Amino acid sequence: MSYRQLDKLPSSIGSFRNLQYLFLEGNQLSSLPASIKQLTRLKELNLSDNQLKKIPEELSTMNALKKLNLNNNLLTSFPLAICGLKNLEKLFIRKNKLAQLPTAISNLKELKILHLEGNRISSLPHTIGDLPSLKELHLEWNHIQYLPNTIGSLEKLSYLSAYNNKLKTLPPSIGNMQQLKHLILHNNALHSIPESIRLLSNLVSLELQQNKITKLPDSLHGLMRLEKLNIYKNQLTELPNTFGSLPNLKEFFLHLNHIEKLPPSIGNLTALEKLIANDNSLITIPESIQGLIHLKELNLRNNSIQALPQTIGNLTALQTLYLNNNNLQTLPASIQRLNNLKELHLIRNNLQNFPDTASGLQKLTLLFLQENKLTVLPESLGNIQALTQLFLNKNQLKKLPQSIGSLKNLTHLYATYNQLVSLPESIGTMIRLQRLIIHHNQLTSLPASIGDIANVHILLVYNNQLSDIPDSIGKLKKLRILNLNRNQLTSLPDTIGALQSLEALYLSKNKLTSIPDTIGSLTSIKTLYLFHNYLEALPSSIQHLTALTQLFAAKNPFSQAAKERIIRWLPHCQIHFFNAKF
């Protein structure tokens, strides 16, 4: 009877006295008939997603009921009838308008799971601790300011979630919940954690992010089974040295704090697989980091790190290393030993060179070197055979190494805003290259071998000094976007017409006086930019460009007759003969 748009139940519902399961979710019920009390064998009742404002007292006689779902209704007070359901094991009342719980909730001695999230509860009754069977307590998205000390009596509780509340403190009794495995308290107003937390010897995950914690207790070392610790976005300036005594910790999130250094004991976290420490105030990394032999992800971006220890080379399980936005000038030679590294992020540092030894990174697929001070790259770069994406933007490179052609798996090469005057001939051997982005350089020509990059889809060479384009450009059968804006081109090769997949061609702000007739063969082209050249006419072959929808041709010396011809040849195209943005 779910999702039937029912607005009421017939009183005859009570005649189904052997009914054990009743699902009425997703209707428009605002009340229940008193006859529902006759369903004395009912084990599960789902009334979620209705418009119930109250529950009849008669519900309390349904002694067989084990699961009751009242999620997403309009209840403003906790139905006292529920407190009579002495065999109830699972109760869901999330997303209502409850302001408080009755003390009689302690009658639910068999209750194992209680969901109260998304209400308006500001406090819990002291009797909450009298639920001896409770294993899961969900309190998130309420207005709770404190937890009663009696909560520590919930000796079977394994899951406590109270995130997105207004908690300022935790009761010391929290340490009495010996079976607790998951404690989720993020996005509150906590300033500290009680020392008694050390007694939670079965705790597996501790979520304290987005609070106002200024210091962690030394007693954290008692959490011998802890696997995940999340303390990001607090007000921490340091970590206790006892921190290294968490033998099973696998994930540690401490980003967005004010931590100035990591304790030497961090190297004792030998099970750690993920260390996220970005957006702190770190200047150095301890030598002891070498102990993190199972570490797979290390995020240190947005700090003030000036150098990495040689011992970082011992992190042989490392797969992802984020070092963006630091003050690194060099990388240690030991980086070559990171033979499982797949991603290396070094954006916005002060690197003046890239070490030869990096050629040992045989599994590296992504290399980000943007916004450094690199003037040259080593020939050994070509030995990183697994590389698929290479980002070199905003450096001071005058050339690329010949060995770059050995990167047979490279699909993306970005080298914008450098000082490149030429490209190596070997670039033609990069058979899997799909994007070649080299705008804002000082290129005066392109090598003939560029036509051998058979899989290139996007070629952006605008803002350079090109005076011509090699005939071999016509071999790029998969090229979809070619941008040659702002160069010194006076003509185009006839082979331009062979670019059968080309969809967008940008030729604005050059010195073109003519366009070859072969342009009419570009049957896939949709956008053509010819803005700001010296064109007096276009070839009649453009009338074959039936897919063309936009032609930007302003700031050319076209005669009126030439303009009229173009308009006649391209009746379905939007043509711009006046100033246009591009």
- How many helices (H) and strands (E) in the chain? 1, 25
Q: Which two tokens stand for residue 63?
A: 């002694």
Pairing verdict, β 574-576 and 113-115: unpaired
Pair 197, 174: CB distance under 8 Å: yes
Pairing verdict, β 205-207 and 320-322: unpaired
Smallest CA-to-CA distance from 219 within 246, 237, 189 is with: 246
Mean pLDDT of 537-562: 96
Query: For residue 2, is pLDDT > 80?
Result: no
Mean pLDDT of 160-179: 97
Is 17 contained in some domain? Answer: no
Give burial (CB, 10 Å; 0-12/13-18/19+) of 10.
exposed
Query: For residue 321, is pLDDT > 60?
Result: yes
Beta bridge partners of residue 321, listed in sequence order = 298, 344
Is 164 contained in some domain? Answer: no
pLDDT at residue 14, as a whole number: 84
Query: For residue 422, is pLDDT > 90?
Result: yes
Pair 460, 485: CB distance under 8 Å: no
Smallest CA-to-CA distance from 228 within 243, 213, 206 is with: 206
Q: Which two tokens stand for residue 126?
A: 């002291």
Contacts of 251 (CB under 8 A, 6+ apart): 227, 228, 229, 230, 272, 273, 274
Beta bridge partners of residue 436, listed in sequence order = 413, 459
pLDDT at residue 580, as a whole number: 41
Pair 69, 45: CB distance under 8 Å: yes
Q: Which two tokens stand for residue 377?
A: 């790259």
Q: For 272-283, give one letter per residue: b (16+ CB within 10 A) or e.
A: bbbbbbbbbebe
Pair 190, 212: CB distance under 8 Å: yes
pLDDT tier at 221 (50, 70, 90 boundaries)?
confident
N residues, the chain: 582
| Distance (Å, whole) CA 421 – CA 68 | 73
pLDDT at residue 581, as a whole number: 38
| Distance (Å, whole) CA 528 – CA 128 | 71
Query: For residue 400, is pLDDT > 60?
Result: yes
Q: How many domains does the chain have?
A: 1
Is 418 contained in some domain? Answer: no
pLDDT at residue 578, as a whole number: 80
| Distance (Å, whole) CA 14 – CA 34 | 8
Q: What is the CA radius of gyration of the chain?
A: 34
Is 567 contained in some domain? Answer: yes
pLDDT digits (tens, 9 = 90+) for 466-495: 999 999 999 999 999 999 999 999 999 999
Is 99 contained in some domain? Answer: no
Q: Which two tokens stand for residue 365?
A: 């697929």
pLDDT digits (tens, 9 = 90+) for 352-363: 999 999 989 999
Is 268 contained in some domain? Answer: no
| Distance (Å, whole) CA 102 – CA 111 | 15
Mean pLDDT of 183-189: 98
Smallest CA-to-CA distance from 262 within 299, 310, 208 is with: 299
Sign of the alpha-carbon torsion through 227, 231, 232, 238: negative
pLDDT digits (tens, 9 = 90+) for 120-140: 999 999 999 999 999 999 999
Q: Residue 578's CB: how many other CB atoms inside 10 A?
A: 8
| 529 φ/ψ angles, rounded to the nearest 5 degrees | -105, 115
pLDDT at residue 579, as a whole number: 54
**Mean pLDDT for all residues in the chain:** 96
Q: Residue 577's CB: how many other CB atoms inside 10 A?
A: 17
pLDDT at residue 3, as a whole number: 80
CATH number of 555's domain: 3.80.10.10
Give burial (CB, 10 Å; 0-12/13-18/19+) of 362.
middle
Query: For residue 1, is pLDDT > 80?
Result: no
Is 513 contained in some domain? Answer: yes
pLDDT digits (tens, 9 = 90+) for 261-303: 999 999 999 999 999 999 999 999 999 999 999 999 999 999 9
pLDDT at residue 6, as a whole number: 83
Helix ranges (H only) for 445-551 are none
| Distance (Å, whole) CA 94 – CA 535 | 70
pLDDT at residue 4, as a whole number: 79
Domain residues for the domain of 512 are: 466-582
Is 576 contained in some domain? Answer: yes
Q: Residue 390's CB: how many other CB atoms inside 10 A?
A: 23
Give the lowest-confidence range in 220-224, 250-254, 312-316: 220-224
